Amino acid sequence: MILKKLVVGPFASNCYIIGSESNKEGMIIDPGAEAEVILGNVKDLGLDIKSILLTHGHIDHIGALKEVKEATGAEVAIHTDEAKSLQEQPLSTLLGISYPTPLPPDRLLKDGDSIDISDLHFLVLHTPGHGPGGICLLGQGAVFSGDTLFNYGIGRTDLPGGNYSQLMNSIHTKLMVLPDNTAVYPGHGPDTTIGTERRGNPFLQT
Ligand SMILES: [Zn+2]
Ligand SMILES: [Zn+2]
């Protein structure tokens, strides 16, 4: 699997570009900002982007969506419970960030859906709590955890739609059941593993 991590925008959001080694089909997870940087990397990697996957609809994960969608023509996928956030973005008004409203999503996701990019196969895990339609994407020995789980941290639950007990339930029932050696690629900050978080994440110690 080709994997490129970019840190973009004022909130230092992680955007991941994923691709198949065999035929160069690819996917972008969370085009949060800096469309030109994302698209430049896609070009350097020689990828044909088939899908743009949004872990959730917060402005810091979708800020470059419109431009990246227009440039790649890729299908935009987001969980059903998060889709309206593409049209209404109260956080952008709140934070004073201008936000070009994208087209409606092409594909609405639910728990258990699969996303296939050539020979790469991913499973959608619905992990509400940071937001109602937050998802993690599991596949190729890795989980892309959005703002659900961070290295030694968890997503905030004080934003509209957030719910702490729901978030903890999502982490325990969907993520902590994964093998220790599963790589974790979060929406912000450094990579980690499920085992590292199981042992050391202060929010997961009982
Ligand atoms: Zn968020
Ligand atoms: Zn975020």
For the full predicted model, state whether its pTM sits above 0.85. yes
Ligand 2 center from residue 147 Cα (angstroms): 5
d(CA 182, CA 20): 19
Ligand closest in space to the Cα of 7: 2
Q: What is the per-residue burial (b if ≥16 Cβ within 10 Å, else e) of 146-181?
A: bbbbbbebbbebeeebbeeebbeebbeebbeebeee
pLDDT for the residue numbered 86: 82
d(CA 77, CA 112): 14
Ligand 2 center from residue 148 Cα (angstroms): 9
Ligand 2 center from residue 65 Cα (angstroms): 14
Residues of the chain short of pLDDT 50, as ranges, are none
Could you report the per-residue pLDDT of 186-197, keeping only the tens digit for each?
999 999 999 999
Ligand 2 center from residue 58 Cα (angstroms): 6
pLDDT for the residue numbered 94: 64
Ligand 1 center from residue 104 Cα (angstroms): 19
Ligand 2 center from residue 187 Cα (angstroms): 6
Ligand closest in space to the Cα of 57: 1
pLDDT for the residue numbered 88: 73
pLDDT for the residue numbered 101: 76
Ligand closest in space to the Cα of 13: 2
Q: What is the per-residue burial (b if ≥16 Cβ within 10 Å, else e) of 93-107?
A: eeeebebeebeebee
Ligand 2 center from residue 79 Cα (angstroms): 16
CB contact at 8 A, 7 and 21: no
Ligand closest in space to the Cα of 127: 1
Ligand 2 center from residue 13 Cα (angstroms): 6
Tell me whether residue 36 is exposed, middle or buried, using C-beta atoms within 10 angstroms of its C-beta: 0 to 12, 13 to 18, 19 or more: exposed
Ligand 2 center from residue 160 Cα (angstroms): 13
In terms of Cα–Cα distance, which of 22, 65, 26, 56 is closest to 44?
Answer: 26
